[in-house]
Structure 1
Amino acid sequence: MKNFSWLLVAVLGLSGCMGTKKYASFVEQRVQTEQVAAPQHDALVVNAQAAAQPGHQYKQLERSFIPALVYWGWNSTISCELDPGMAAAAVRSGMYQAADKLNLQDRLGGRQLVVDIRQTPGQFMYENKGNVIFLIFAHITSAQESITPRPTDLVLHYQLLENGAVVASGEGLVKNTQEPLRNLWKSSKKFTWLYLDQFELEAGRMGEESLKDILLQLEGDLSRL
């Protein structure tokens, strides 16, 4: 039992020493930075601005480990920003799925909707911190591993084209509703993968909602065209 306790403490301490290189390997095993070719859709074109810094970005904000005689403490905090191309691809996928569900081609009557993605979600904070206080016959452990998204909203600009001429335009904004996530039983890698899966679902939802909002904005314009 004593050996198991020391092993548990060692695992907790080592996981708290998480650096950007190790954490990047978790992220990049799950997501791809390459932009997947967008599906062809006559009624909808979704563009994304080229990223100033392509690829995933990581910044170590805090990294400490204190292995004292009666106290161990650790804190690893990493700021992460997913590749904008990957985030835009998830948004674009949601928009194209919505276009099919909403029968966009018929609703636009042969016109074309061109959407430019101006801002994408994809920023979050990974944090692993805790401490162990050693007593004579036992130890007290307190640890927390969490991922907190920065609530970056989806910002769009759109134009409705008819025979190549702009007949309507506007802006779109969809709020990011992804919630912080706390790890209870998973490894750090699988916990990160769970968050990334949830992010992809949220980005797709934002894309779908953005197209619905654009169509609501265009209803008056379409009735006059």
Structure 2
Amino acid sequence: MFKALLLACLFLTCSCVGPARYGDYLAEYQPEDGVVAAPVSAIDVRYADDYRSEPEVKRIKNSFVPAILYWSWNNTLECSLDPAKQLAYVREGVMQAADSLGLDRKLAGQQLSITLSQVPGQFYYVNRMYVVIAIVAYSTMGEESITPVPTDLVASYAVTDGSDRRSAWGSSTVFSREEPMRNLWKSTRGFTGKFLDSQRAELQRMGRELVNDIDRELYPVSRK
């Protein structure tokens, strides 16, 4: 019985990831696909305001219940991605779409400035564990998951000439398709990397959709 309790305690303790370590996972992440779309010189993508310079992680729940026949653990972290990486992933999608649409040619020497006022990147990391203790053994049940905070991409844009005079402007919203993810087979670091891969793909998709929306507004005739 004592051995079962000791093993259960060690299992619960080792499964906990604190804010500092999880922040390292976010900061160290590098996408498996390192291919980056070539920039289009006539297009600039930026944030509306200054953002923090690194990912943020803070613990919002940390509970441990050691009952006689039942133990439970809940470790919940509130996380925000690195803003520089968020911007880079949206920009990748923007440049991919701009290249396929020939947007540089359509602008004919003008500059397209895209300003992002809202970008997805917040999520909750949750690690729950339950231990049911019997007289001669114990059983464990657990769930490790990441749940994004549904956030749409919101942007404004302006087309300017060499004197910064605006010839066209507008705004666009790309709706989020983010979905929760459960860890079924990977380490916490590997699971987080898999989620960040999906976040990068989603931000790239949003960047492409954003440019498609802008192209439809600016050049409706060329799409007929």
Bin for the TM-score computed over the shorter chain: 0.7 to 0.9
Runs in 1 of length 4+ with deviation above 3 angstroms?
Answer: 4-12, 49-52, 66-69, 220-223
Partner SS, residue 93 of structure 2: helix
The Cα of 1:40 is off from its aligned counterpart by 4.7
| Normalised TM-score (structure 1) | 0.85
CA distance in 2, matches of 1:110, 1:197: 35
Map of 1:186 onto structure 2: 186
The Cα of 1:149 is off from its aligned counterpart by 0.4
Map of 1:35 onto structure 2: none
Q: Report the residue type matching 1:85 in the other structure.
A: A
Residues 52 and 105 of structure 1: is their aligned pair in 2 closer, same or farther, counting only changes over 3 Å?
closer
Matched, 1:137 2:131: no
Q: Which runs of 5+ in 1 are unaligned?
A: 33-37
Whether the 8 Å contact between 1:73 and 1:130 is mirrored in structure 2 is yes
The Cα of 1:71 is off from its aligned counterpart by 2.2
Whether the 8 Å contact between 2:27 and 2:54 is mirrored in structure 1 is no
Whether the 8 Å contact between 1:168 and 1:221 is mirrored in structure 2 is no
Partner SS, residue 124 of structure 2: strand
Map of 2:216 onto structure 1: 216
Map of 1:78 onto structure 2: 77
Matches within 5 A, 1:41-190: 41-164=40-163, 165-190=165-190
The Cα of 1:172 is off from its aligned counterpart by 1.1
Q: Which runs of 5+ in 2 are unaligned?
A: 32-36
The Cα of 1:39 is off from its aligned counterpart by 6.0
- After the TM superposition, which of the residue ranges 213-222 and 146-155 deviates more from structure 2? 213-222
Of all paired residues, the percent bearing the same amino acid is 38
Whether the 8 Å contact between 1:48 and 1:85 is mirrored in structure 2 is no
Partner SS, residue 121 of structure 1: coil
Whether the 8 Å contact between 2:75 and 2:128 is mirrored in structure 1 is yes
Matches within 5 A, 1:23-42: 23-31=22-30, 40-42=39-41
CA distance in 1, matches of 2:49, 2:6: 47
CA distance in 1, matches of 2:109, 2:7: 64
Whether the 8 Å contact between 2:56 and 2:81 is mirrored in structure 1 is yes
CA distance in 2, matches of 1:11, 1:90: 39
Residues 151 and 159 of structure 1: is their aligned pair in 2 closer, same or farther, counting only changes over 3 Å?
same
Q: Alpha-carbon deviations, 1:116-175, whole Å to 9, x = none?
A: 111111100000112111112332322111000011111111001234321110001111
The Cα of 1:7 is off from its aligned counterpart by 8.4
CA distance in 1, matches of 2:24, 2:162: 48
| Normalised TM-score (structure 2) | 0.85
